[in-house]
Protein backbone atom coordinates (compact mmCIF):
# COMPACT_ATOMS: atom_id res chain seq x y z
CA UNK A 1 0.00 0.00 0.00
CA UNK A 2 1.42 3.43 -0.94
CA UNK A 3 2.31 6.08 1.61
CA UNK A 4 -0.14 8.91 2.25
CA UNK A 5 0.56 12.33 0.75
CA UNK A 6 1.68 14.92 3.31
CA UNK A 7 -1.60 16.84 2.85
CA UNK A 8 -3.82 13.74 2.89
CA UNK A 9 -5.46 14.54 6.22
CA UNK A 10 -6.05 18.19 5.25
CA UNK A 11 -7.99 17.13 2.15
CA UNK A 12 -9.90 14.47 4.07
CA UNK A 13 -10.90 17.03 6.72
CA UNK A 14 -11.93 19.53 4.04
CA UNK A 15 -14.16 16.95 2.35
CA UNK A 16 -15.71 15.83 5.63
CA UNK A 17 -16.43 19.47 6.57
CA UNK A 18 -18.36 19.78 3.28
CA UNK A 19 -20.53 16.81 4.22
CA UNK A 20 -18.70 14.04 2.36
CA UNK A 21 -18.56 10.63 3.98
CA UNK A 22 -15.21 8.93 3.44
CA UNK A 23 -15.96 5.39 2.30
CA UNK A 24 -12.38 4.22 1.64
CA UNK A 25 -8.96 5.45 2.73
CA UNK A 26 -7.26 4.36 0.54
CA UNK A 27 -9.61 3.26 -2.23
CA UNK A 28 -8.31 -0.08 -3.52
CA UNK A 29 -9.16 -1.24 -7.01
CA UNK A 30 -8.23 -4.82 -7.78
CA UNK A 31 -7.89 -5.19 -11.55
CA UNK A 32 -6.84 -8.84 -11.63
CA UNK A 33 -5.07 -11.40 -9.43
CA UNK A 34 -1.73 -9.56 -9.66
CA UNK A 35 -2.59 -5.92 -10.31
CA UNK A 36 -4.23 -3.41 -8.02
CA UNK A 37 -4.08 0.36 -7.63
CA UNK A 38 -4.76 2.61 -4.66
CA UNK A 39 -6.45 5.99 -5.04
CA UNK A 40 -6.05 8.16 -1.94
CA UNK A 41 -9.72 8.53 -0.97
CA UNK A 42 -13.24 7.54 -1.93
CA UNK A 43 -16.19 9.55 -0.66
CA UNK A 44 -19.93 9.76 -1.05
CA UNK A 45 -22.42 12.54 -0.51
CA UNK A 46 -26.16 12.15 -0.51
CA UNK A 47 -28.00 14.54 -2.77
CA UNK A 48 -31.43 14.97 -1.21
CA UNK A 49 -33.15 16.33 -4.30
CA UNK A 50 -32.09 13.32 -6.38
CA UNK A 51 -32.21 10.77 -3.56
CA UNK A 52 -29.04 9.16 -4.76
CA UNK A 53 -25.42 9.49 -3.79
CA UNK A 54 -22.66 11.24 -5.63
CA UNK A 55 -19.44 9.24 -5.47
CA UNK A 56 -15.95 10.62 -5.91
CA UNK A 57 -12.43 9.25 -5.78
CA UNK A 58 -9.66 11.72 -4.97
CA UNK A 59 -5.98 11.52 -5.81
CA UNK A 60 -4.18 13.97 -3.52
CA UNK A 61 -0.98 15.69 -4.60
CA UNK A 62 1.22 18.07 -2.63
CA UNK A 63 3.59 19.25 -5.39
CA UNK A 64 6.55 19.55 -3.01
CA UNK A 65 9.09 17.83 -5.27
CA UNK A 66 12.12 19.37 -6.97
CA UNK A 67 10.10 20.54 -9.97
CA UNK A 68 6.45 21.43 -10.28
CA UNK A 69 6.43 20.24 -13.90
CA UNK A 70 7.81 16.83 -12.87
CA UNK A 71 5.19 16.61 -10.15
CA UNK A 72 2.57 17.54 -12.75
CA UNK A 73 3.77 14.77 -15.09
CA UNK A 74 3.53 12.24 -12.25
CA UNK A 75 0.10 13.48 -11.16
CA UNK A 76 -1.21 13.39 -14.73
CA UNK A 77 0.05 9.85 -15.30
CA UNK A 78 -1.49 8.61 -12.07
CA UNK A 79 -4.77 10.38 -12.76
CA UNK A 80 -5.11 8.88 -16.25
CA UNK A 81 -4.18 5.40 -15.04
CA UNK A 82 -6.59 5.58 -12.11
CA UNK A 83 -9.43 6.84 -14.29
CA UNK A 84 -8.84 3.96 -16.67
CA UNK A 85 -8.75 1.52 -13.73
CA UNK A 86 -12.14 2.86 -12.59
CA UNK A 87 -13.50 2.29 -16.11
CA UNK A 88 -12.11 -1.27 -16.24
CA UNK A 89 -13.61 -1.98 -12.84
CA UNK A 90 -16.91 -0.44 -14.02
CA UNK A 91 -16.91 1.81 -11.01
CA UNK A 92 -19.12 4.91 -10.87
CA UNK A 93 -16.84 7.15 -8.78
CA UNK A 94 -15.88 10.43 -10.46
CA UNK A 95 -12.12 10.93 -10.17
CA UNK A 96 -10.65 14.23 -8.97
CA UNK A 97 -7.08 15.47 -8.66
CA UNK A 98 -6.59 17.46 -5.44
CA UNK A 99 -3.94 20.20 -5.58
CA UNK A 100 -2.87 22.85 -3.05
CA UNK A 101 -4.25 26.34 -3.61
CA UNK A 102 -0.79 27.93 -3.94
CA UNK A 103 0.25 25.43 -6.63
CA UNK A 104 -3.02 25.99 -8.43
CA UNK A 105 -2.55 29.78 -8.39
CA UNK A 106 1.16 29.67 -9.31
CA UNK A 107 1.16 26.88 -11.89
CA UNK A 108 -2.22 25.50 -12.92
CA UNK A 109 -3.43 28.74 -14.49
CA UNK A 110 -0.61 28.56 -17.10
CA UNK A 111 -1.29 27.55 -20.69
CA UNK A 112 0.16 24.01 -20.58
CA UNK A 113 -1.67 22.78 -17.48
CA UNK A 114 -4.92 24.45 -18.56
CA UNK A 115 -4.77 22.81 -21.98
CA UNK A 116 -3.93 19.40 -20.48
CA UNK A 117 -6.77 19.69 -17.97
CA UNK A 118 -9.21 20.62 -20.71
CA UNK A 119 -8.04 18.01 -23.23
CA UNK A 120 -8.04 15.17 -20.70
CA UNK A 121 -11.18 16.29 -18.85
CA UNK A 122 -9.45 16.35 -15.48
CA UNK A 123 -11.58 17.31 -12.52
CA UNK A 124 -9.67 19.31 -9.91
CA UNK A 125 -10.20 19.99 -6.22
CA UNK A 126 -8.24 22.99 -4.98
CA UNK A 127 -7.53 22.76 -1.26
CA UNK A 128 -5.89 24.88 1.42
CA UNK A 129 -3.56 22.60 3.41
CA UNK A 130 -3.25 25.05 6.31
CA UNK A 131 -6.95 25.82 6.82
CA UNK A 132 -7.91 22.25 5.82
CA UNK A 133 -10.69 23.45 3.53
CA UNK A 134 -11.73 22.88 -0.05
CA UNK A 135 -11.29 26.17 -1.90
CA UNK A 136 -12.73 25.28 -5.29
CA UNK A 137 -14.16 22.42 -7.36
CA UNK A 138 -13.27 22.48 -11.06
CA UNK A 139 -15.12 20.09 -13.34
Q: Which sign does the torsion angle of CA 95, 101, 107, 111 carry?
A: positive
Please tell me the pTM assigned to this model: 0.93
Q: Which pLDDT belongs to residue 24?
A: 96
| Least confident range of 3-7, 16-20, 104-108, 132-136 | 3-7
Question: Residue 91 contacts by C-beta under 8 Å, 6 or more apart in sequence?
Answer: 29, 57
Q: Is residue 89 part of a domain?
A: yes
Q: Which pLDDT belongs to residue 112?
A: 97
Q: Is residue 69 part of a domain?
A: yes
Domain count, the chain: 1
What is the domain range of residue 79?
8-138
CATH code assigned at 13: 3.40.1350.10
Which residues share a beta bridge with 133? 128
Residues 38-96 have pLDDT tens digits of 999 999 987 655 446 789 999 999 999 999 999 999 999 999 999 999 999 999 999 99
Q: Is residue 2 part of a domain?
A: no
Amino acid sequence: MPAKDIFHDAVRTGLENEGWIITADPFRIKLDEKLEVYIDLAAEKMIAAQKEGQKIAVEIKSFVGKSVIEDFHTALGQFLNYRTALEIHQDDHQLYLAVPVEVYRDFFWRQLPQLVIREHNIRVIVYDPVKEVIVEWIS
